[in-house]
Structures are given as structure tokens and as C-alpha cells.
Structure 1
Amino acid sequence: MDHAPPAPAIAAAKKTVLRTALAVASVQGSVMAGLVIWDAIKRRSRSKRPGFPHPGIFHSRIGESDITLYTFGADLYADMLASIRGAKKQIFIETFIWKDDETGNQFKDALNEAAERGVKVYVIYDVFANLVVPGSFFKFHPAIHVYRFPMFRPSLVLGSIRSTSLDHRKLLVVDDQTGFVGGYNIGSLYATEWRDSHLRVTGTSVWDIRNAFVTVWNGQFAGRNPKIRHTTPEGWESRIRAVNNIPTSLVYPIRGVYLDAIGRAKTHIYITMAYFIPDQQILKALIEASGRGVDVRLILPRDSNHVLSDWLSRGFYRTLLDTGVRILLYRDAMIHAKTATIDGQWSTIGTANIDRLSLTGNYETNLEIHDEAFAANMEEVFEIDSGNSDELRLEEWGARPWLARFSETVIVPLRPFL
């Protein structure tokens, strides 16, 4: 007959497990604090960045829709503001970060002026992402309908994943005629000092961006804001599709779109990503693609604005380099784009990073585009960005200091949270 271990032995085992867990957590905390401090020191000592290439503005036409690809924030903001100032009926705008600076105030003033002349204006912004922005900044014209995407929601008490989601999207739709979507938040820093990518769509496919906004607006928690009428598209353009992650419905299709596209690749995969912390399936898909002869290239920030994301990403570099994936580290600016183009046929651009927060956590919107001309534009942008990047070599990465390897290993358990 089996006998249960004595109570003192169980108590001792529990103490040992607890002490071990506390020791591990202490080491992780020390490493994270050290990385943050070291990053802050580096930023202070770093001379002002000399600037970076602006690939330009690219145009293409797909069916009844015109697509404009922006690669410099000042160009994008000028056209967004022109659209807002020319609005006649309604404006939908949704953003993750909205800075209280010159650019942020230009957008706020343009929206207030639109409301003053009778345009219906609907605004969504994420409260958590803007905690450092004074609350007074978000006081709009009384006619503007505002949904402050909340930090605390009823689902928090249920402990479900949907309760941890943020609204990470960046959308603008004017008069159902013009739509914008991409990686740019609103702020002067992003206008001139960050390299990002964004799209403007005019024509029938604006409906996809409109529908993305309306779905979230109408799904908000009970409040005083009116519902927005759903519409149906004038035409169905299958080559352009908005892919939306909607946590309240536990719908996360963007990850599946990436996996499907990577699995179909025959010649090349070019990905530009601000924060790259792939799960095992996406990592495996990229490695398998490289193994079957696909030219897989990643443009990632040399130093991003999130030091922990950088170090978590670096933990994948050896595995990727060992299997032939090329890693290009973008210099002289933060590259915040979330784009991919494959085989000169398929492309995606939007708000979602390849990490847990974007692919299985936050509200996100990407446009999926099947078009050779648009893919050619994306490849040209990738080529220009590659010229401003340093390729990481396997021997260089293998020679990094032991302390860097130790730090990467210690923070591996944080990957599922970012």
C-alpha cells in the first residue's frame, strides 16, 4: 500500500518551491531593471540621429480603389488633416497614442472645427496608452462623440484574455470616401523621427476600414454614445480585405493570415516589424520556409523604444540565423512599421506586430492585399529600408558577451506576455 508523504516533508517541499520561484523572480527583476537602466544610459550618450531615408509616397490602383502608401509621417499627416478639413458629413478616427503636442493639437483642432461646421465626428482613443497625456487634452467640442477605450472593463472580474486587451488600432475614415490605416500614431515625434508605414484607400474598399471602426464602436460597453448604422459595400473587391482582431468576440484572424501566407511562399518573404516576438508556430513557419529555399528577410529595429521587446526578440536571432533567415537591423531611427510582402503577389500592412499582444491580445486591423503592382511598391520600400540597415551575421551574433546571453535566457519566460 502506498503511503502519502508526511506533512513536514510536504511543507518543506512547498517552501523550497516558493524560495526557488522567489529567487528566479528576483533574478528576472534585476535583469530587467539592469536592461532599462543600461538602455537609459545609452540613450543619453547617443548623439542625435542623423536622419533616415524617406522611401516616398507610392500609388497603385486595384479595381475601383486607389491605394496610397506613405512612409514618412509628415506626408501622411498633411493628407489626413486635409481630409478632415474637407469633411462634409462624418469622420471616424481611432488611435492608440495621441500626443499633446503640435501635431496632436492640429488634429484636435481640425476635428473640433469639423464638428463646429456640422460634421458628425466619432473618436476612439485608448485610455491606458495615453495615461501620460493630460486629461484636459481630450476635451473635445461638445458635439463630438468620444469613446474612451477603458482601462478597466467588466470582464476584468472574469479574468478572461479579452479583459487585458488594448485598442492598438490607427484608423481614419472621412465621408465613407477616404480611409487611412497603418502603424502611425498621432504625434510630432512620429511625423519626422520615426520610420513607419500607412495606407490611404479611396473607392469601394474604404468600406472595409469603415466597417472595422463601426464594429468596435457599436460593440462598446453601455454608454451615452449613439450606435452607427452598418452599411453594405457597393462592390466586393476580393483583392483588398481588412482583417480585424476583435477580443470581445475572441476573434484573432491576423495570426492565421500570416501563417497561411508564409506557408504558401515560394520565392521570398520580406517582413518589417517594430516588435518581433513570434510564437512557436510562426517561428516554425519562417524556419520551414527558409528550409525549402525561400529567401526570408526581416527588418527589425536596432534599438526600439521598448528595451524589453528588443531583448526578447534577440532571443530568437540565433535560431533564425542558423536556418538561413536574414536579419537586417534598421539604424538611425525607430522603425515602427508592421508590414510584409511575399512572392511579389501578397502584402499586408496595418497595426499588428508579430507578438502575443497584437496577435492574441489587442484590437488590431491589417489590410491584406493581393496585387502585383502594390507588392512591387512594398518591395521597393523594403529595398530602400534595407539600405539603411546593417545585416546581422551569425559569427557576429555568436561573439556577443556572455552577460547578453544570460540576460536573454533569464527573460525568456516573459515572451507569452509580450
Structure 2
Amino acid sequence: MRRRSLLSVDHLALFVRRTLLVVFGVPAALAVVMSIVDAYRSRGRRSKPFPTLPPKSTPVGDGTITTYTFGADLYDDMLAAIEGAQRQILFETYIWKGDAIGERFKRALIAAADRGVDVYVIYDAFANLVVSPRFKRFPPQVRVLRYPVYGAGWRFFDLRRYGRNHRKILVVDEDAGFVGGYNIGTAYATEWRDTHVRITGPGVWDLKRAFADFWNLHRRRFFSPSLRPLLLEMSTTWEPQIRFHRNVPRLLMFPIRAMYLEAINRASKNVWLTHAYFLPDQDLVDALRDAAHRGVDVRILVPLKSNHIVADWISRGYYSQLLEAGVRIFRFRDAMVHAKTATIDGAWTTVGTANIDRMSLTGNFEINVEVIDEAFATVLEEIFELDESNALELTSSEWEARDLHRKFTEFVLTPLRPFL
């Protein structure tokens, strides 16, 4: 009798293993094949020109916010700020290519350190695995924090230690702070459509605090200096129209998702979102559908084809629900749109590093700036409308008429949604 029960348990375990293999193994294998094929097809493919606006500065509170939609413009101003630094530079990025643009930033940072400026650098090691080790070597006068590929150590069970550092920040003295979606690299200068902002005024202190907190949380205790004295020196002035929201997985803090839900749920006029990778959870889908049902003009702008084909396919699994509710979906043509922005009701905006996907909203270190200002919201609306002029709208009839193999692929990839 006992032997029969053991056999039953063994059969059950075998059935569970096989089921899990089918449910997760097949989609994972398909995702790998799709990524390889897409990478092969994309070799040598260049984006086409796309419309952009010149940098535009808007007074907000006691400072200004300058908006950038073209990488070359942004990099010129970032490098000029680094070259003009007098006391301190805080530089943090996710991807830092070892190409011509990457070298310009590296040389500028080293030159600043050579003339006596305190230079602190943070970059994500996993995002730069393919970058030459030579490029990632710095002289000792540049203080560098390499966020590790694997940060859990022996605490492999601690999910708080697995998030990537997806933030992009530059703070120079107390004069200017930059934050947004742009990584550092030649292709991003002219071939990708992204959005970044330059902030002056009291908001700069909040960016400094964000950098210092990350540095102190992850620095090597006996080899890297603490930035705690910097925190003690910081201004306590509040800028009531600007708030920075930081996702900190080590502390289980994920305010950016709540920020989006609150703003969407309060919308009465319009909700315009631009996102590189749009893979919302059901709460966010429901919030967007509810807004559309109460007459809000809800629009979502995404790439026609992003640099992550699997994310594209999985995001399409949400289109039916959104289109049925009256949400309008636009697909940016000819180039990768990598922005992470939103504008609501002509008064509320956000620009930052967080995509609307699970990795950004409940996994990675991210930072978004939330701005309550009508003039700045107008700028974001102008940018959205310009991007929309370069986009194709997806209609319900077009979506329902898609091929059977496309519907099948979306269905097979559905189990991967919780992981992206």
C-alpha cells in the first residue's frame, strides 16, 4: 500500500514537472529563438530620421526644467556641464557604450577629476557586459561604483537583491541635474527617440540625495568613501511642484507604480503615455480602461518595433482589452522610441527611467520626476503630438484581422508576462 502511494507521489511529481516544462519551457524557448532571429535580421539596420523639437526651458517654481528629445542636443549640454564643473560631479547610467560618445564622457569625467573636481560614477555591470574591460578602467581620482551582475551573494533567496540599476542621473555642483531615459552611446545620439530633462533650482538637491543614497547603500565599505556628509550639507528647501519618486528594491520601496495609478485614476481630460516597453499589470490596464470609459482621452504611444521583440509580442496581449475600452494606441515608425513619459489633464507630467512593466515598477532601481505645472505639461503635450505625427494608429478592425499565427504566438508567450 505504501509503495502504491509512493508511486502515486512520483507520478504526480513527474506530471507537475512536465506541466511546468510545457507552460514555461516552451514560451522561454520560443522567446530565445525569436530574439536570435530578430538580432540576425536587424544587423546593419539603421533608423530613419524622425521629428524632434529643440531643447525648451520652462520656469517651474524657483527653477527651470529643460526638455530634450534628441540625444545629440542632450549630450552637448551634459558634456558642457561636466566641463564647467567646479566642485562635484555625480554621474550614474545603466548602459555606457565604449564608443565615440562613451569615450567623450569618460575623458570629460577624468579631466574634471584631474582639475580637482570630486567625481563619482555609478554604472550597471550587467548592462555593460559586452563593453570592453579596458573602457571600464578608471584612474584612482575617479571614484567608481560598479553595480554588480549578481548582488545577492549567499542570500540567493533574497529577492530584494536582484533588481538592476536602471537609473540615468547627472548632477553637477548644485547648478544642474539631468534625468530621463537616455543611456550613453553613439546610436542614442541620433537614432533613438528618447526624453530627458535638465533641472535647476531646489530640485537639484533631490537628485543629489537620490545619487548619494544609492552610493551609500551599495558602496564597498572599506574601499569607497561615504557620501553621508553630502546628505548632511544638503538644502532642506522643498520645491512643491516637483517630486522625485525612487524605486528601491533593497528597501521594498516601489512608489512609481502608485504614482501612475493615482494620476490615471484622477484623470478627467486626457492621459497620454509614451513608453518603450508597455507591459502593464492588470491594475494598470483596469485604470486605463476605467479612464477611457468615463470619457478621458487615453492614448498610448509605443515603438512599432522595439529593440526587444519578445517585449513587443507580450505587450500586444493587452491590446484587445484597451482597444475595446476606447484607448487609442499609436506605434512610432522608423526609429526606436525609448521615452518613459506621461502627461495628464494639462497639469501633471512625469519623465524618468521607469517603463510600465514589471521589471521597472516592481524590480529595478528607477527614478521618475513628477511635475505639477501647466506650462511644462503643455511642452510634454507638444512632444506627444509631434511623436504622434510620426506614428501609425492601431485600429480595432486592424487588430482583430491579424493573422492566426500572430494570435497563437501571443497566446504561447502569455506565461512570460509576470517576468517582464
* TM range, smaller chain: over 0.9
More displaced 10-residue stretch of structure 1: 10-19 or 88-97 = 10-19
Q: 1:133-212, aligned counterparts within 5 Å?
A: 133-154=131-152, 157-212=155-210
Q: 1:53-202, aligned counterparts within 5 Å?
A: 53-154=51-152, 157-202=155-200
Q: TM-score, normalised by structure 1?
A: 0.96
Against the structure 1 CA distance between its residues 22 and 154, is the aligned structure 2 distance closer, same or farther, given a 3 Å change threshold? closer
Q: 1:241-390, aligned counterparts within 5 Å?
A: 241-390=243-392
| Residue 403 of structure 1 pairs with residue 405 of structure 2 | yes
Does the 8 Å contact 2:27/2:415 carry over to 1? Answer: no
In structure 2, the partner of 1:412 is 414
Does the 8 Å contact 1:98/1:187 carry over to 2? Answer: yes
Structure 2: gaps spanning 5 or more residues = none
In structure 2, the partner of 1:16 is 15
Q: Deviations over 1:58-103 (max 9, x none)?
A: 2100121111000000000000000000001010000000000000
SS at match of 1:184: coil
Q: Deviations over 1:214-261 (max 9, x none)?
A: 110111143311111203325211101111111111111111100100
Does the 8 Å contact 2:152/2:162 carry over to 1? Answer: no
Does the 8 Å contact 2:152/2:158 carry over to 1? Answer: no
One-letter amino acid of the structure 1 residue matched with residue 120 of structure 2: Y
Structure 2 residue aligned with 1:232, among 223, 231, 234? Answer: 234
Q: 1: distance between equivalents of 2:158 and 2:30?
A: 29
Structure 1 position 158, deviation (Å): 4.3
Structure 1 position 155, deviation (Å): 5.6
Does the 8 Å contact 2:57/2:64 carry over to 1? Answer: yes
SS at match of 1:315: helix
Does the 8 Å contact 2:119/2:142 carry over to 1? Answer: yes
One-letter amino acid of the structure 2 residue matched with residue 101 of structure 1: D
SS at match of 2:341: strand
Q: 2: distance between equivalents of 1:47 and 1:118?
A: 43
Q: Deviations over 1:274-314 (max 9, x none)?
A: 11110111111111111111110000011101111111111
SS at match of 1:203: coil
Does the 8 Å contact 1:52/1:333 carry over to 2? Answer: yes
Q: 2: distance between equivalents of 1:118 and 1:33?
A: 48
Q: 2: distance between equivalents of 1:156 and 1:94?
A: 27
Against the structure 1 CA distance between its residues 156 and 289, is the aligned structure 2 distance closer, same or farther, given a 3 Å change threshold? farther
Q: 2: distance between equivalents of 1:119 and 1:253?
A: 33
SS at match of 1:298: strand
Structure 1 position 52, deviation (Å): 0.6
Q: 1: distance between equivalents of 2:27 and 2:308?
A: 17
Does the 8 Å contact 1:156/1:164 carry over to 2? Answer: no
Structure 1 position 35, deviation (Å): 2.0
Does the 8 Å contact 1:301/1:331 carry over to 2? Answer: yes
Against the structure 1 CA distance between its residues 307 and 349, is the aligned structure 2 distance closer, same or farther, given a 3 Å change threshold? same
- RMSD of aligned C-alpha atoms? 1.7
SS at match of 2:140: coil
Q: 2: distance between equivalents of 1:355 and 1:156?
A: 28
Q: 2: distance between equivalents of 1:93 and 1:71?
A: 20
Q: 2: distance between equivalents of 1:160 and 1:110?
A: 38
Equivalenced residues, count: 415
Q: 2: distance between equivalents of 1:30 and 1:206?
A: 45
Structure 1 position 56, deviation (Å): 2.3
Q: TM-score, normalised by structure 2?
A: 0.95
One-letter amino acid of the structure 1 residue matched with residue 133 of structure 2: G
Does the 8 Å contact 1:73/1:192 carry over to 2? Answer: yes
Against the structure 1 CA distance between its residues 52 and 11, is the aligned structure 2 distance closer, same or farther, given a 3 Å change threshold? same
Does the 8 Å contact 1:156/1:163 carry over to 2? Answer: no
One-letter amino acid of the structure 2 residue matched with residue 31 of structure 1: L
Q: 1: distance between equivalents of 2:3 and 2:357?
A: 44
In structure 1, the partner of 2:31 is 32
